[in-house]
Structure 1
Amino acid sequence: MPAVTGRAGDRQYFIAGEMMASVQLDNVRKIYDNGQVAVHGASFEVADGELMVLVGPSGCGKSTLLRMIAGLEDITAGTLSIGERVVNEVVPKDRDIAMVFQSYALYPHMTVAENLAFGLKLRKYDKATIEKRVAAAAETLGLTLMMDKLPGQMSGGQRQRVALGRALVREPSVFLLDEPLSNLDAKLRHSVRTEIARLHRQLGTTMIYVTHDQVEAMTLGQRIVVMKDGEVQQIDTPMALYLKPANLFVATFIGSPKMNLLWGELQQRDGLRLVIAEGVELLLQPQPAMEAILQTYVGKQLTIGLRPEDMHLGPPGAGRLPAKVEVVEPVGNEAFLNLGCGGCDLVIRLPPYDLPVVGGQVHLGYVSERMHFFDPDSGIRVEPA
């Protein structure tokens, strides 16, 4: 039986069940008048109550995609649905979404309370409803004692919380957040990021969050959409992206420091070896299924990835990679060694004790079962079917 719809005040409700707040994109494209393709056929679903992060470098199309969901950019092709309703032609104010931008966009002459209430007043909500929602949002975001302050009297983190609160009082089906932490320093970014994660857990509302910061994406997203040049590269949970990247771009974009890449010719000589340079060879010990796939690369180029924590210092000997220490970065509870190895730049993560000196020679061991294999031409992950 189809759901029967009605109105409860100014909020839509479903008599036969709760209002759905999923977001579905089916081959959504954006092509500008000059022919530039900003988004190439994005297709994915954000589940009701999910916090989905769109991440990628500047110019990858993530903010354009968010603006299409918001209705601030026209969709060239494809279908966008919020709940069970196609919204391609629906104006932003009727999509039941609220958006938080990189800039706080607060009214400087209004107090916190007035900023929080302003959107509801424009929508002609009654005074009692406005006061109730503003008070609830202020309590949720720790703004209750700041209601009489002007934005100029507040820190960046406090102003961003007001911007979040202004979206929160709307009680939308979907929150859209476009680089909301970019203007904050590192300490405040962490603090407000924690606020957003807590807010999502508390509200259970669908959120789509755009960032170029992969650490932000990994710590906030229940799932992550990785984008490059307007194309979706991979969609998965944070740890699945980290442990099983679909291609070289995802492998090096997700993770800090990024994945180490070594490349060379794969040879069969006392086992499989990647010959990186003269005297620099990586001995492989793949599982049988993986070895069968790698046999097709013997005599050809292959790229291998190893995370910084999957490489370590060891004594000279068979299976060790010789490397030169170029930079030592102690950062407190750990240290990063930047190394040169046969023309490849490597970074390894170590405890911050007894570190080698810059210019010294070291030998690297590695965890064979944590190697990642990539086709150097296509960049696609190589693995058994």
Structure 2
Amino acid sequence: MATVTLDRLRKVYPNGHVGVDEATFEIADGELLVLVGPSGCGKTTLLRMIAGLESISSGTLSVGGRVVNEVPPKDRDIAMVFQNYALYPHMTVAQNMAFGLRLRGKPKAEIDVRVRDAAKLLELEHRLDALPAALSGGQRQRVALGRALVREPKVFLLDEPLSNLDAKLRLSMRVEIARLHRQLGTTTVYVTHDQVEAMTLGQRIVVLNGGQIQQIDTPMRLYEKPANLFVAGFLGSPAMNLLRGTLRHGSGWSLETPDGTVPLGELPAQSHELLPWIDREIVFGVRPEDLRLADADHAALSAVLEVPEPVGNEIFLNLRHGSQSLVSRVAPGALPEAGTVMHFALAHDRLHVFEPSGGTRIV
């Protein structure tokens, strides 16, 4: 196990494209850290730089206190699990898992012990003689994990390892990866574009966009206090509702939008920070669960139900408020018909407020 430290790490391609821009953070010894962001945000590039598969344009990368900028991948004591399983079809499960150790000249007795230990951990002990073609997708992914486990590296790197699996297998493999990490305690960096995977797996999450780090924090801190509009919109399913308009303050706070005025009440927790924004454009964010059903007399806004989505333990109401699309998350119950006008209140103590241009969080 080891600490991984990135100090102003930067990747610039020959055509001038900046893949990673000044990445600075530390992955603690034994931590499971997730890199998340949309396609092309730089997360896989950053992972490959840690692995040594991508050169570093500038900055310093250290593993266990040793600078490894120029150290070849095989000498970094890092194991990587790729998106595709990359299993040898003519080799058995045991042979695939042992392949890297054989290349390193490990004694056969030691290889056998490591392979059997990893197979037991991954519940593959009864499939060691099987070829990859005879395995399910989940079993193949476990073999790829086992091939990394047997090396007993200082750091595991996982590049979207579940993206080829169906929804049910993804869920079970997420649980399995979390369980393995708890048992082994190995420093792990996990790349995904799936924010649900990021939220459920990561002890901390690094959110990237356009090669730049947007925010680093625990899953719930990112959800409850997103640093900017990008993080607010990216993390959360369904995404945060955003209301853009001019902030007014008369008998109480209100947001004047093109679709009408939304009363905000007294907002005691946010009042001080919002004073400089009176009569200026601003963006309010409200999570779907904080857009709550209300009677007409106590509603902040009304909206037309376009599509109700019952998903068992909750219902997503897809709404239209003038030109604005909104989503409310409500408890299961009788489904209203599409076209119904519904009334909603805002959870005033859980509102998020952002600058309209740069998108930086105000409150």
Q: What TM-score comes out, normalization by structure 2 length? A: 0.98
Does 2:23 correspond to 1:23?
no
Counterpart check, 1:145 vs 2:126: yes
Change (3 A) 1:76 1:278: closer
Within-5 A mapping of 1:199-278:
199-277=180-258
* CA distance, structure 2, for counterparts of residue 324 and residue 145 of structure 1: 56
1:71 corresponds to which residue? 52
Aligned partner of 1:367 among 340, 347, 356? 347
Structure 1: gaps of 5 or more residues: 1-19
2:296 is matched with 316
C-alpha distance in 2 between matches for 1:101 and 1:27:
25
Aligned residues of 2:202 and 2:219 also touching (Cα < 8 A): yes
Query: Is the Cα contact below 8 Å between 2:89 and 2:133 reproduced in 1?
Result: yes
Work out the CA distance in 1 between the residues paired with 2:23 and 2:76.
20
Q: Which range moves more in the overlay, 271-280 or 343-352? A: 271-280
1:348 is aligned to 2:332: no
- Is 2:313 the partner of 1:338? no
User: Does the CA contact (< 8 Å) of 1:340 and 1:346 recur in 2?
Assistant: yes
Residue 122 (1) aligns with residue 103 (2) = yes
- Give the stretch that moved more between structures: 68-77 or 307-316: 307-316
**Does the alignment pair 1:358 with 2:338?**
yes
| Displacement of 1:299 | 1.0
Q: 1:263 to 1:284 in 2, by over 3 A?
A: farther
Structure 1 residue identity aligned to 2:16: G
Alignment match of 1:109 (pick from 90, 113, 130): 90
Partner of 1:327: 307
1:168 corresponding residue in structure 2: 149
Give the letter for the 2:154 counterpart: S
CA RMSD, 1 decimal: 1.0
Tell me if the contact between 2:299 and 2:343 (Cα under 8 Å) persists in the aligned partners.
no
8 Å CA contact 2:89–2:132 kept in 1: the answer is yes
- Identify the residue that residue 360 of structure 2 maps to in structure 1: 380
Range that drifts further, 290-299 or 98-107: 290-299
Distance in 2, Cα, partners of 1:284 & 1:228? 35
Written as runs of structure 1 = structure 2, the 5 A alignment for 1:177-188 is 177-188=158-169
Distance 1:62 1:279, change over 3 A: closer
Quote the Cα distance in structure 1 between the aligned partners of 2:34 and 2:143: 22
Q: How far off its partner does 1:324 sit?
A: 0.7
SS at match of 1:146: coil
Q: Distance in 2 between matches of 1:44 and 1:278?
A: 43
In structure 1, C-alpha distance between the alignment counterparts of 2:227 and 2:264, rounded to whole Å: 23
Once the two structures are TM-superposed, the CA of residue 320 in structure 1 deviates from its matched residue by 2.5
Question: Which one of the candidate residues 70, 78, 92 is aligned to 1:89?
Answer: 70
Contact 1:52 1:223 in 2 (8 A): yes
In the alignment, the residues of structure 2 paired with residue 114 and residue 282 of structure 1 have an alpha-carbon distance, to the nearest angstrom, of: 66
Partner SS state of residue 263, structure 2: strand
1:6 corresponds to which residue? Answer: none
Shift of 1:333: 1.5
- How far apart, CA to CA, are the structure 2 residues paired with 1:50 and 1:122? 29
Q: 1:33 aligns with which of 5, 14, 26?
A: 14
The alpha-carbon distance between structure 1 residues 254 and 167, as it changes in their structure 2 partners (threshold 3 A), is: same
Amino acid at match of 1:338: N
Structure 2 vs 1, CA of residues 278 and 220 (structure 1 numbering), >3 Å: closer, same or farther?
A: closer
Distance in 1, matches of 2:262 and 2:299, equals 8
CA distance in 2, matches of 1:313, 1:181: 37
Q: Give the Å deviation of 1:90.
A: 0.1
* 1:102 match: secondary structure: coil
Of residues 176, 184, 188 in structure 2, which corresponds to 1:195?
A: 176
**Quick one: structure 1 residues 61 and 284, their matched pair in 2 at CA, closer, same or farther if it must change by over 3 Å?**
farther
* Structure 2 unaligned residues grouped into runs of 5+: none
Deviation of residue 319 (structure 1)? Answer: 4.3
CA distance in 2, matches of 1:271, 1:284: 5
Task: Tell me which amino acid in the other structure corresponds to 1:64.
Answer: T
| TM-score normalized by the length of structure 1 | 0.93
Letter in 1 for 2:362: V
CA distance in 1, matches of 2:151, 2:124: 17
Q: CA deviation at 1:343?
A: 2.2
Deviation at 1:318, TM superposition (A): 4.6
Aligned length: 363
- Contact 2:259–2:323 (CA under 8 A) maintained in structure 1: no
1:355 to partner: Cα distance: 2.4
Pairwise CA distance, 1:278: 5.1
Q: CA deviation at 1:277?
A: 3.2
Alpha-carbon shift at residue 284 of structure 1 (Å): 3.9
Does the 8 Å contact 2:254/2:261 carry over to 1? Answer: no
- Measure, in 1, the Cα distance between the counterparts of 2:315 and 2:265: 27
Amino acid at match of 1:47: A
Q: How many angstroms apart in 2 are the aligned matches of 1:283 and 1:265? A: 12
What do the CA deviations read for 1:286-321 (whole angstroms, capped 9, x no partner)? 225x21221211111110011111111111125421
Secondary structure of 1:144 counterpart: coil
Aligned to 1:291: 271
Distance 1:371 1:355 in 2: 27
